[in-house]
């Protein structure tokens, strides 16, 4: 299983090239084997024919073998052996009996071919041994070295090895280029898919050839069209629902605050009203968050920067939650240092700070502090409380949508608050993070914004 997984990690073009090279190697090895076997058979037939012809010539002519002049006497020989396997006559450098003792008895009765080593002859020898007609039992042995045959066969193998290696390398290069060209439409589709989104209406490129890749691109374009339509319907629904919810929630909130201010609201009724007011705040935040999500695009949350008065921004957030904080026995304070005006989208910053204050009221304790800092460079907006906050192991994903700490799962909340805060910070060329505040034992969330962002037209 591990080997199969590692193979699948190799790029397709490399795998295709390797398969093409392997096919070439198999074909070359097959061709080399066929040529080798065919050539060896032909060379063996030629040697056997030459041995038969020489033996026939000797038997018919009955020449004086000892006086025969053989070409290459170190590679050829003719011997006559008596019934005791003693050399009677010899031509060539083979002085010792050439026919092995194990085959000599059979050679006295009929012809046979033998391959063996013969002293005085280079390399392995193939000989034809057959009985000599006459009153005495004698054997004629005609032999020839196989060196020339073996050198010819080795030359064929070397030629195939060298030429085959060059052919495999060349074929692999051509195969790689062909695989790359064949996968070019797939790479074009992939590159386009990386840049596209559900809000981008451009389709995937279609290859010119009407092949499987073309059919795949057509199918993917149809699927993307359906996804975009579904995404657009969902986004319109969320935006419409967010707009429609805001008015009745605002009316309910005003009525609840009025009821809380009434002297007749006491006891359990007051506690129920307070709980209802908190739920109205959550519904208001949820409606605002859903509206931001509906408007969210690939470039982030749309913002309209304009001059923002820092103290007015923080005061507005404080006023919104002052009543709710008071009924829970808590306070909201403001602390500002630095320049009082900067360029940003006030509505989006108000929403981000409201999310953080809402989280502090739900999950924190003690006094909530809204801070503003801008001495040099970016603007820092902070919301602090004395609560434990979320665990440190959640820092890396706390600002992702629908992320909630384990202890907060039993309570209310959608898990969108910090994600919206981070999206708004990114829209202002900034970041959102939890920081360690040495002056506070609680939790501090900071929005670090680029104050030099130019207002959009």
Q: Is the residue at 164 inside a domain?
A: no
**Residues 12, 10: Cα–Cα separation, whole Å:** 6
Give the burial string for 85-94 (b: 16+ CB within 10 Å, else e). beeebbbbbb
Q: Which mean pLDDT values do the consecutive 10-residue runs of the chain (457 residues) have?
A: 57 82 90 93 94 89 78 90 90 89 91 92 92 88 93 92 89 85 80 72 78 83 83 73 74 78 75 77 71 61 86 91 86 84 89 88 87 83 81 62 48 64 86 74 84 44
Number of compact structural domains in the chain = 3
CATH number of 282's domain: 1.10.287.130
pLDDT value at residue 332: 92
CATH number of 126's domain: 3.30.450
pLDDT value at residue 407: 46
Structure confidence by residue, pLDDT tens digits, 153-171: 999 999 989 988 898 888 8
408 half-sphere exposure, CB direction, 13 A CA radius: 23
Domain boundary among 146, 174, 205: 146
Nearest residue to 369 via CA among 390, 349, 355, 385:
385
pTM over cut 0.85: no
Please indicate, yes or no, whether residues 304 and 400 belong to a single structural domain of this protein: yes
CATH number of 367's domain: 3.30.565.10
Domain boundary among 84, 117, 146: 146
**Structural domain boundaries, residue 95:** 64-146
Q: Is the residue at 355 inside a domain?
A: yes
**Residues 169, 200: Cα–Cα separation, whole Å:** 44
């Amino acid at each position: 299983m591990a080997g199969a997984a590692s193979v699948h990690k190799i790029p397709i073009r490399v795998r295709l090239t390797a398969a093409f090279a392997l096919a070439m190697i198999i074909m070359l090895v097959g061709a080399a084997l066929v040529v080798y076997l065919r050539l060896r058979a032909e060379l063996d037939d030629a040697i056997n024919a030459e041995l038969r012809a020489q033996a026939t010539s000797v038997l018919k002519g009955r020449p004086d073998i000892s006086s025969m002049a053989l070409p290459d006497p170190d590679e050829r020989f003719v011997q006559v052996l008596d019934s005791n396997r003693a050399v009677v006559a010899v031509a060539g450098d083979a002085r010792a009996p050439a026919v092995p003792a194990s085959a000599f008895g059979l050679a006295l009765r009929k012809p046979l071919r033998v391959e063996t080593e013969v002293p005085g002859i280079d390399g392995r020898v193939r000989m034809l041994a057959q009985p000599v007609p006459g009153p005495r039992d004698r054997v004629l042995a005609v032999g020839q070295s196989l060196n020339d045959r073996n050198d010819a066969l080795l030359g064929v193998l070397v030629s195939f090895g060298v030429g085959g290696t060059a052919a495999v390398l060349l074929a692999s290069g051509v195969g790689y280029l062909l695989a790359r060209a064949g996968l070019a439409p797939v790479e074009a589709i992939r590159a386009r898919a990386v840049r596209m989104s559900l809000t981008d209406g451009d389709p995937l490129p279609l290859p010119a050839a009407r092949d499987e890749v073309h059919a795949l691109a057509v199918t993917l374009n149809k699927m993307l069209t359906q996804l975009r339509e579904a995404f657009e319907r969902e986004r319109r629904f969320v935006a419409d629902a967010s707009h429609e919810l805001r008015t009745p929630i605002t009316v309910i909130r005003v009525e609840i605050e009025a009821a809380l201010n009434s002297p007749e609201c006491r006891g359990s009724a007051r506690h129920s009203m307070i709980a209802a007011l908190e739920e109205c705040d959550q519904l208001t935040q949820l409606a605002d968050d859903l509206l931001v999500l509906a408007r969210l695009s690939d470039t982030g949350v749309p913002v309209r920067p304009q001059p923002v008065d820092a103290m007015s921004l923080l005061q507005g957030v404080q006023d919104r939650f002052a009543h709710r904080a008071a009924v829970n026995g808590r306070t909201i304070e403001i602390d500002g240092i630095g320049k009082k005006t900067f360029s940003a989208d006030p509505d989006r910053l108000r929403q981000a700070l409201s999310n953080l204050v809402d989280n502090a009221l739900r999950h924190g304790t003690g006094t909530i502090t809204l801070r503003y800092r801008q001495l040099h460079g970016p603007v820092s907006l902070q919301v602090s409380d004395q609560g434990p906050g979320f665990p440190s192991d959640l820092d890396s994903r706390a600002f992702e949508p629908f992320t909630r700490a384990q202890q907060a799962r039993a309570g209310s909340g959608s898990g969108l608050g910090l994600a919206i805060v981070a999206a708004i910070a990114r829209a202002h060329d900034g970041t959102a993070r939890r920081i360690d505040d040495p002056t506070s034992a609680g939790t501090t969330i900071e929005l670090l914004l680029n104050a030099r962002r130019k207002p959009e037209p």
